[in-house]
Structure 1
Amino acid sequence: MSETRIDRRFRALKQEGRAAFVTFVMAGDPNQETAFRIMQGLPEAGADIIEVGMPFTDPMADGPAIQQAGLRALASGTTLKSTLSMIREFRKDNDDTPVVLMGYYNPIYSYGVDRFLEDARDAGVDGLIVVDLPSEEDEELCLPAMKAGLNFIRLTTPTTDDKRLEAVLKNTSGFIYYVSIAGTTGAAAPKASDVAQSLQRIKNATDLPVAVGFGIRSGAQAAEIAEIADGAVVGSALIDRIAAAENDDEAVRSVMELASEISAGIRSTVKH
């Protein structure tokens, strides 16, 4: 594979000596216009990589916050096609920030794998996280995605043993997403001391950057993770700000405030 925006961003951050701030937002939440404004504003608020959720009716790995975000997005008429259109629009003013599509295989399968990969690449997508496609199914999407020049990013968990880890890492590129808590998204915050041991085991098996997600809700928590990981992923906390907002302007403002706080926490840590 040729180098992607994700590869370039992690290399630049390594030279800076800090971890990446990876944000997750749902396409079309709370509506398509506001979701686009939020995506547009995230890089200035400090996001290094943006994960964009593909709304799906049966998000089995997600907790209540992201499930509700998906329902709001579907109610606003969001489709995979409109999600790709949002990213294409984003790319008109931002050609640097890596964008990762995250979700489930069903919408991609329905769209058509070959057509999806071509449209995703043309829209400016850099990588995919598809949570319900195990490594045994690599020929379905992983290998075609890599051939199309998209990173295929895998999740590992505290219960991933050494044998399974080897299979997970086999065709992974871009970075590894370490799910630090057993359970659905938005669970309790991870303890840095517990995460550090697992991260070392993963790093012994791969040279890829490792980003840690699930449960990070503040700048202080993000700083703790940034001390030991190559990236901190924040999703449910941002989604909660959207859900609590009384109007669209407040949703944008509130998400940017929290993103800026978390970004400052991550940037306060310097690796030597």
Structure 2
Amino acid sequence: MSRIAAKFAALRAEGRRAFVSYVMAGDPDYATSLDLVRGLPGAGVDIVELGVPFTDPMADGPTIQQAGQRALAQGMTLDRTLDMVRAFREGDDTTPIVMMGYYNPIYSRGVAAFLKDAKAAGVDGLIVVDLPPEEDDELCLPALASGIDFIRLATPTTDDARLPRVLQNTSGFVYYVSITGITGAAAPEAADVAPEVARIKAATDLPVIVGFGIRTPDSARAIAAIADGCVVGSAIVAELASGKSVADVLAFTADLARGAHSA
């Protein structure tokens, strides 16, 4: 059983929703970022999404774009992101790690080499936002063959005709983007999101996790209650960008996790 499947099985057994956090690898520097990632499970994070910095992050809002720019300025690369996963795995062999980013760095490195190294490093899943299902041969199917989940995003514009194609080779979980737009945009309303989550769950047995725009424990609780869990990214990244210490950012994250887990 994969780490992602095992995590969701354990959460179901406990009657809890998942809390997923996103942080940008290398922001504001490698050492601080690694300290933060290492502390996330203790703050209640069930699955870590680790952003790979990229020069043209078209799906990201200003907060995460700026985090990526800070990381790139510090020399963060795809290889160093894999180094961070390896370092994390030295002390934690159970928390799932999902790498989230764009295809260009993977393509430039070579898909086969990347997947081999990602698997060896301890990566459990990939979210690659600029590869549609029509390009599954590029990375999705090779990733699945290597034992790495390929997690697809569904959005408010994914209609009933499109949804089966989106779900076809998705594994691990489905990431539902609760609003139309970029990361860090307006807060989602649970009443609006619930019917969409139900529609997706009727079409798949995979867990459905909702992200984009969640900033408070109350919002995390409300969204997690109508799904299998929630994702918070921009709000955590913004705390770090404001100059807060790693301990303060982890305390903020723990409050969000308690909100999600109380759903």
Which TM-score tier does this pair reach, normalised by the shorter chain? Answer: over 0.9
User: What do residues 37-68 of structure 1 show as CA deviations (whole Å, max 9, x unaligned)?
Assistant: 00000000000000000000000000000000
State the distance in 2 between where 1:43 and 1:198 align: 29
Shift of 1:254: 2.4
Spell out, residue by residue over 1:89-109, the C-alpha distance to the aligned partner (whole angstroms, 9 max, x if none): 100100000000000000000
In structure 1, how many angstroms separate the alpha carbons of the residues matched to 2:245 and 2:155? Answer: 31
Instruction: Tell me what 2:188 maps to.
Output: 190
Residue 134 of structure 1: aligned partner: 132
Instruction: State the alpha-carbon separation in 2 of the partners of residues 197 and 148 from structure 1.
Output: 34
Superposed displacement of residue 251, structure 1: 3.0
Gaps of 5+ in 2: none
2:256 pairs with 1:266: no
Q: Is 2:194 the counterpart of 1:210? A: no
Matches within 5 A, 1:2-21: 3-21=1-19
Q: Give the Cα–Cα distance (whole angstroms) in 2 for the partners of residues 80 and 108 of structure 1.
A: 8
Distance 1:260 1:100 in 2: 19
- Give 3-state SS (helix, strand or coil) of 2:161's partner: helix
The runs of at least 4 aligned residues of structure 1 exceeding 4 Å deviation read none
**Which letter maps to 1:62?**
D
SS of 2:143's equivalent?
Answer: helix
SS in 2 for 1:202: helix
Comparing 11-20 and 58-67, the one that deviates more: 11-20
State the match for 2:248 in structure 1: 254
* 2:50 aligned residue: 52
Residue equivalent to 2:104: 106
Residues in 2 aligned to 1:19 and 1:205: alpha-carbon distance in whole angstroms:
20
Correspondence for 2:157: 159
Identity %: 62
C-alpha deviation, 1:137, in angstroms: 0.1
- How far apart in 1 are the matches of 2:185 and 2:234? 9
Q: Report the Cα distance in structure 2 between the residues aligned to 1:223 and 1:80, rounded to whole angstroms.
A: 33
Which residue in 2 is equivalent to 1:88? 86
Report the AA paired with residue 4 of structure 2: I
For residue 113 of structure 2, what is the amino acid of its counterpart?
Answer: R
In structure 2, what is the Cα distance between the partners aligned to 1:251 and 1:139?
42
Q: Verify the 8 A CA contact 1:180 1:195 in the aligned structure 2.
A: yes
CA distance in 1, matches of 2:185, 2:22: 15
Residue 22 of structure 1: SS of its match in structure 2? strand
Q: Under a length normalisation based on structure 2, what TM-score does the superposition of the two structures give?
A: 0.99
Q: Which amino acid in structure 1 is aligned with residue 251 of structure 2? A: E
1:223 counterpart residue number? 221
RMSD: 0.6
CA contact (8 A) 1:18 1:226 kept: no
Name the amino acid aligned to 2:245: A
Tell me which residue corresponds to 1:41: 39
State whether residues 179 and 214 of structure 1, in contact with CA within 8 Å, keep that contact through their aligned partners in structure 2. yes
Q: CA deviation at 1:169?
A: 0.3
Q: TM-score by structure 1 length?
A: 0.96
CA drift at 1:154: 0.2
Q: Deviations over 1:131-163 (max 9, x none)?
A: 000000000000000000000000000110011
Corresponding letter in the other structure for 1:123: A
CA distance in 2 between counterparts of 1:89 and 1:183 reads: 34
Deviation at 1:268, TM superposition (A): 1.6
Instruction: Please list every run of 5 or more consecutive structure 1 residues that lacks an aligned counterpart in the other structure.
Output: none
The alignment of Structure 1 onto Structure 2 pairs a total of residues equal to 263
How far residue 264 of structure 1 moved from its aligned partner, in angstroms, is 1.1
Q: How far apart, in 1, do the equivalents of 2:37 and 2:23 lie?
A: 8
